[in-house]
A and B are shown apart, each in its own frame.
Chain A
């Protein structure tokens, strides 16, 4: 292949100012990490809640969790992002709608975090439910027999074990949060995919360099997430209880 390599593009100054493209990439990495971490917090909190709801004995309450999971799990992520960005503001009263569309600070970032957080929450919910249901039924009964309420049974008996069981799939989900954050470019967040696409254009088609560097940074982010979760797994390990290494 007759490709004209040029790694110097990262040290070139952008046409409109004093930054280099390397600064752009670092800036983009910052937004990618910010979106992913913020979305992960939302996903973990709401996902745990929805997952727990799905396992409670009361069918009506469990239904709320079911609907939550089925909606956020069965609609494509990009579609959810566009729903939040283009559709939801139109449903608001006119003045509020205009404020959201034009003046709300960091509107693209907030929309992206919300969309990614809710999407991921459905997946976390399924893992939490699976973790709880993987426990022998006697555990719940034992808790209740000891005089715990349902809430106390979850808090002191079921969840401490369930969360330990699901650390490996949660690790994958945490890594997915980083990888899925790339869709945020579609609403205009200046993150890694955005930077990569813009660099391809502005450098006159240095596609390979512009794609490789963000790719490597995604690998670094996802792998860092993996290592963090490995530490969590080791620290929270209970001797004699499942997946002992």
Chain B
């Protein structure tokens, strides 16, 4: 008899559970249950997501993610929502999204077809062009001039393959040198270990602005690649994806996104009050007018 009661209670509990699951699923259910959402942040993806002087994550994508968190809070009608942050790296960001440690990755992740097998992306909020930083004094303006010369890039980035591809394509031969992070690669340029440093132009602008002699460097040459950078979330999670999409599209439509861009890319920003003076590219202007989450492959001509 006792067993029967227990079974009955269990089945009632199950049906209640099923009822609420019908309304909420995936990340939204997880957030509603925990009354908390976890943002994945980068510590040095300047100025998209980085740490300020007091080690607090700030940046263009952090602002956008906070807008998403607010929209989630409103949708779930929560009195309070705990917004947690978790530092991620380019190596672990995808596994941490997939295994649920992080709900929304607010860093500098390229949206491409390979990654779409594992994760989903918000509408593109930034476009980066892979170009080359050089010392102005070297007089270099194009990759072609670097035949036989040392060229730096960072291990574990798409730039490594772009450099190799352009070597094959143009029949050039660089002496590639690899920094373990962007600061190391820039140090190679600074100390003449490399004549050029190939990387995303916004990162190059940040490294140059923060260097000892910002006027000594220039970003030159045509773009080796144009890549859409977007906030990343779990795949096959339609409810959460809808909120993220609506929030980003809403920001784009209201002009708020352009204001945020101006705040982070064209005004003095913490920690040193540096102004990147990095005007919005034509590609990004187009995306603000018609937001979408197309992968990098669709940007190739």
In the complex with contacts A1-B99, A101-B193, A188-B178, A200-B164 CB distance below 8 A? no
Instruction: For the complex formed, measure the closest distance between the CB of A106 and the CB atoms of chain B, giving whole angstroms.
Output: 11
Which of A13-21, A51-59, A166-174, A227-235 lies at the binding interface?
A13-21
Instruction: For the complex formed, measure the closest distance between the CB of A130 and the CB atoms of chain B, giving whole angstroms.
Output: 35
Contact B91 A200 (CB under 8 A): yes
B179 at the interface (CB under 8 A from A): yes
Contact A86 B180 (CB under 8 A): no
Which of A39-47, A137-145, A203-211 lies at the binding interface?
A203-211
In the complex with contacts A16-B165, A201-B156, A101-B180 CB distance below 8 A? no
**Docked complex Cα distance between A2 and B233 (Å):** 13
In the complex with contacts A15-B161, A102-B150, A188-B179 CB distance below 8 A? yes
Instruction: For the complex formed, measure the closest distance between the CB of A83 and the CB atoms of chain B, giving whole angstroms.
Output: 13
- Contact residue among A4, A15, A198, A204 (Cβ-Cβ distance under 8 Å from B165): A15
- Contact residue among B95, B193, B195 (Cβ-Cβ distance under 8 Å from A205): B95
**Docked complex Cα distance between A3 and B178 (Å):** 30
**Docked complex Cα distance between A188 and B158 (Å):** 15
- Contact residue among A6, A101, A204 (Cβ-Cβ distance under 8 Å from B192): A101
- Contact residue among A98, A187, A202, A207 (Cβ-Cβ distance under 8 Å from B94): A207
**Docked complex Cα distance between A143 and B20 (Å):** 88
In the complex with contacts A188-B177, A205-B95, A205-B115, A90-B157 CB distance below 8 A? no
**Docked complex Cα distance between A89 and B188 (Å):** 12
Instruction: For the complex formed, measure the closest distance between the CB of A44 and the CB atoms of chain B, giving whole angstroms.
Output: 28
Inside 8 A of B167's CB, which chain A residues have their CB? 16
Mask of A153-182 contacts with B, CB within 8 angstroms, 1/0: 000000000000000000000000000000
A197 at the interface (CB under 8 A from B): yes
A186 at the interface (CB under 8 A from B): yes
Residues of B within 8 Å of A, CB-based: how many?
43
B155 at the interface (CB under 8 A from A): yes
Contact A90 B160 (CB under 8 A): no
Contact A102 B115 (CB under 8 A): no
Inside 8 A of A202's CB, which chain B residues have their CB? 158, 160-161
B22 at the interface (CB under 8 A from A): no
Inside 8 A of B150's CB, which chain A residues have their CB? 101-102
A194 at the interface (CB under 8 A from B): yes
Contact A203 B99 (CB under 8 A): no
Inside 8 A of A15's CB, which chain B residues have their CB? 161, 165
Inside 8 A of B92's CB, which chain A residues have their CB? 207
Contact A102 B187 (CB under 8 A): no
B90 at the interface (CB under 8 A from A): yes
Interface on A for B, CB 8 Å cutoff? Answer: 1-4, 6, 14-17, 86, 89-90, 98, 101-102, 108, 185-188, 194, 197-198, 200-205, 207-208
Q: What are 15 pairs between A and B in contact, CB < 8 Å?
A: A3-B98, A3-B99, A6-B117, A86-B187, A101-B191, A102-B195, A186-B180, A197-B155, A198-B155, A198-B156, A201-B158, A202-B161, A204-B94, A204-B118, A207-B94
